[in-house]
Amino acid sequence: MKHFEANFDGLVGPTHNYAGLSFGNVASLNNATLTSNPKAAAKQGLQKAKSLADLGMVQGVLAPQERPDLYTLRRIGFSGSDAEVLQKAAQQAPALLNACCSASSMWTANAATVSPSADTRDGKVHFTPANLVDKLHRSIEPITTGHILQATFNNSRHFKHHQHLPEHTSFGDEGAANHTRLCSEYGHAGVELFVYGQEATNPNAVKPKKYPARQTLEASQAVARLHQLEDESCVFIQQNPDVIDQGVFHNDVISVGNQNVLFYHEQAFLNADAKFDEIRRKMNAEMHFVKVATSQVSIDDAVRSYLFNTQIITLPSGEMAIIAPTNCQENPAVFAYLNELVTLGTPIKQVRYYDVKQSMQNGGGPACLRLRVAMNEQEVAAVNQNTLMNNALFTRLNIWVDKHYRDQLTVSDLADPQLIIESRTALDELTQILKLGSVYQFQK
């Protein structure tokens, strides 16, 4: 049977804006006053997804969330008509309004952790939505994320959906951004590498001093248990707290893996040597650890360019390619490194650049925008086929974006009640295009 690694990209929602909501995420804070372009953001994302489909990859899309989130605003005491709720929140608690308007669900690397059927005891593909408790604006995502995942992977014979972990910082979970699956072939059992920022229940364990460690060991272990993974196929490794304090808020800002390749910065992990030995032992296959030294690319350049927030994909030819943001071309040290990388004799043979600047300005690169789901042919056939990218869907979604999205949005626009109507009209139409059923609260 054939096996694939599919990428499901998050569609950028109609309220895409720069509100500076993510303490510890340098780009989010630095760009807090910029005017965003939701239409351009959505189109950049669609173009990247379509380009991967054109390369012969299995590519899908995940619907965005309903924003503004009036249900959360009502839950915290704002009342009246929808327009009144928005106006009162804008006057009395603008920071809370901003948190309820973010289009952050587009970063589907944080939607869930996924374990393919080759790794799980019951032979199903397992999904656990991330609780994202570290950030208010993201902590309101997991319930709807669960609905969207269930409507997309809507076959209980093949797909097992779990509830998100308990909503407490001890179980801080950021999903696939801190999870990498290593394997020889996508269909063979692999090693699932869980990267955590801190141990919540061990007061003596090291942790960052300045910025939050969003992922805990306890959360990663819980996901591994839920997904029915064998101990022999899991490795838990701590992120270097010093790099978290330099803006590496997720592991996918400092390392990325694909099949038997782990591409990483030398400062990414604690106790890397011992953990890499454990990976080698558990893999039963040759591993390529592709290390980038600080002398080649500094942490600052890695964070600015998102060199490691690239996607490494295996093309139908068997060659690996890196999907990089154009920001990597614009950074001299990073561009020089990538030009050299393809000559080094590693499995990575080419680099392709895509403009995803609208997302980058919020601290999300190409890899943040996608959720990886390794599947066999039968599982791909069991996915909601209306979510899979092809020429027709690409054309349809571009028309949909043109019809509903604004080409500029500032934080002060978030109090505009018209935005509720625009967003709901767009999302209602989207659920029809993707045949998702009623996944949003306003549809229930």
Give catalytic residues, as residue numbers: 174, 250, 368
Nearer to ligand SUO by C-beta: 138 or 179?
A: 138
Listed in sequence order, the DSSP H helices in 35-111 are 38-54, 70-75, 82-92, 94-99
All residues at 6 or more sequence positions from 193 whose CB lies less than 8 Å from its CB, including other chains: 179, 180, 181, 182, 235, 237, 257, 262, 279
Nearer to ligand SUO by C-beta: 102 or 239?
A: 102
What is the layout of strands, in order, in the sheet containing 59-62?
A: 59-62, 3-10, 370-376
Query: What tokens does 79 get?
Result: 């009342």
H-helix or E-strand spanning residue 432: helix 418-433
Min separation Cβ 233 and ligand SUO, Å: 25
All residues at 6 or more sequence positions from 432 whose CB lies less than 8 Å from its CB, including other chains: none
227 is in an annotated binding site: no
Give the C-alpha separation, 88 to 90, whole Å: 5
383 is in an annotated binding site: no
Give the C-alpha separation, 225 to 202, whole Å: 20
Provide the binding-site residues for ligand SUO, judged by CB under 6 A. 18-22, 25, 28, 102, 104, 107, 109-110, 135, 138, 177, 250, 362-364, 368
Give the C-alpha separation, 230 to 323, whole Å: 31
Nearer to ligand SUO by C-beta: 10 or 116?
A: 10
Nearer to ligand SUO by C-beta: 12 or 382?
A: 12
Contact 195, 161 (CB under 8 A): no
Nearer to ligand SUO by C-beta: 19 or 200?
A: 19
Min separation Cβ 354 and ligand SUO, Å: 16
37 is in an annotated binding site: no
Q: How many residues are recorded in the chain?
A: 444
19 is in an annotated binding site: yes
384 is in an annotated binding site: no
118 is in an annotated binding site: no
All residues at 6 or more sequence positions from 223 whose CB lies less than 8 Å from its CB, including other chains: 113, 128, 165, 173, 179, 194
Nearer to ligand SUO by C-beta: 129 or 187?
A: 129
Min separation Cβ 67 and ligand SUO, Å: 11
60 phi/psi in degrees, rounded to 5: -125, 180
Give the C-alpha separation, 85 to 294, whole Å: 50
Q: What share of the chain is helix, strand, coil (3-state, %, to 5)?
A: 40, 20, 40
138 is in an annotated binding site: yes
> Within 10 A of 249 (CB to CB), how many other CB atoms are there?
30
Min separation Cβ 132 and ligand SUO, Å: 7
Min separation Cβ 23 and ligand SUO, Å: 9
Contact 327, 310 (CB under 8 A): no
331 is in an annotated binding site: no
Conformation bin of residue 199: beta by default, left when phi > 0, alpha when psi is -120 to 50: beta
Min separation Cβ 316 and ligand SUO, Å: 27
Nearer to ligand SUO by C-beta: 25 or 144?
A: 25
Give the C-alpha separation, 352 to 368, whole Å: 16
Contact 328, 338 (CB under 8 A): yes
> Within 10 A of 1 (CB to CB), how many other CB atoms are there?
7
List Cα–Cα distances, 406 to 81, 103, 255, 398, 413, in angstroms: 24, 13, 34, 13, 11
204 is in an annotated binding site: no
Nearer to ligand SUO by C-beta: 30 or 228?
A: 30
26 is in an annotated binding site: yes
Min separation Cβ 360 and ligand SUO, Å: 10
Min separation Cβ 137 and ligand SUO, Å: 6
- Please enumerate, by residue number, every residue annotated as part of a binding site for substrate: 19-28, 110, 137-138, 214, 252, 362
